[in-house]
Amino acid sequence: MFDFAAMRAEMVAEQLEKRGITETAVLQAMNTVPRELFIPESYQANAYNDGPLPIGSRQTISQPYVVALMIQLLDLQPGSIALEIGTGSGYAAAVLSLIAAQVITVERHHKLASSARERLSRLSYDNVIVMEGDGTQGCEEFAPYDGIVVAAGGPSVPIPLKEQLKLNGKLVIPIGDSKRKQQLYQITRQDSYQFTEKRKGRVSFVPLIGQAGWDTR
């Protein structure tokens, strides 16, 4: 059998620390969540590989480094409430749940939403709420958020996500004209109408599908 704890520690040291993930809370969370339990059994040997893996419904669990980078860019303080768009396997939501006080995560695929909900509850990630729907509209019910992270790439920044940020809250989102290649943006709400944007490098995510994303066809 595999020594997943050792594989996890090596991933944190080699893929995260060496590439500039410095936030202790992020490193600790990445060193705690059992990624092997969020992927199909046939891929378990590759659970800590430096890349994405298929999770069914033509979707992927993001590369560990990208999960850590996006969460670090949210700059969450203790007691915060975070929104994730694109639950997928639930892995990033589990990592977030060890840093934020409350995590809301939205998934548009029924099958993925229900299996992530079941998995997160079985593993006792009790401060995560999985919602099913179009995350380009955010989740008004629990807004505003200290941080919003989008795990799929859209053509432009969905307005509802900006509107659901707290003052000084951050939105981390891949944006690009192509469905598979994006720039990662970190957007900070300065006041009601003012936002600053920083580019954080090239990334490749599955498409963000919805009203303020790519169309459903």
Which parts of this chain interact with ligand SAH (CB under 6 A)?
59-62, 85-86, 88-89, 91-92, 106-109, 112, 134-136, 151-152, 206, 208-210, 213
- Supply the minimum distance, in Å, between the C-beta of residue 96 and ligand SAH: 9
Residue 2, SS3 per DSSP:
coil
Length of the chain: 217
> Which stretches within 123-172 are classed as H helix?
159-163
Residue 57 designated active-site: no
Report the residue number, 176 or 213, with the smaller CB distance to ligand SAH: 213
- Supply the minimum distance, in Å, between the C-beta of residue 169 and ligand SAH: 19
CA–CA distances in Å: residue 125 to residues 58, 97, 99, 171, 205: 25, 7, 12, 23, 25
What single letter denotes the amino acid at residue 217?
Answer: R
**Inter-residue contact 136 to 105 (CB < 8 Å):** no
- Supply the minimum distance, in Å, between the C-beta of residue 191 and ligand SAH: 27
Report the residue number, 127 or 193, with the smaller CB distance to ligand SAH: 127
**Inter-residue contact 33 to 98 (CB < 8 Å):** yes
Report the residue number, 150 or 191, with the smaller CB distance to ligand SAH: 150
Report the residue number, 1 or 29, with the smaller CB distance to ligand SAH: 29
Q: Which of 62, 80, 89, 115 is catalytic?
A: 62
Mind telling me the catalytic residues?
62
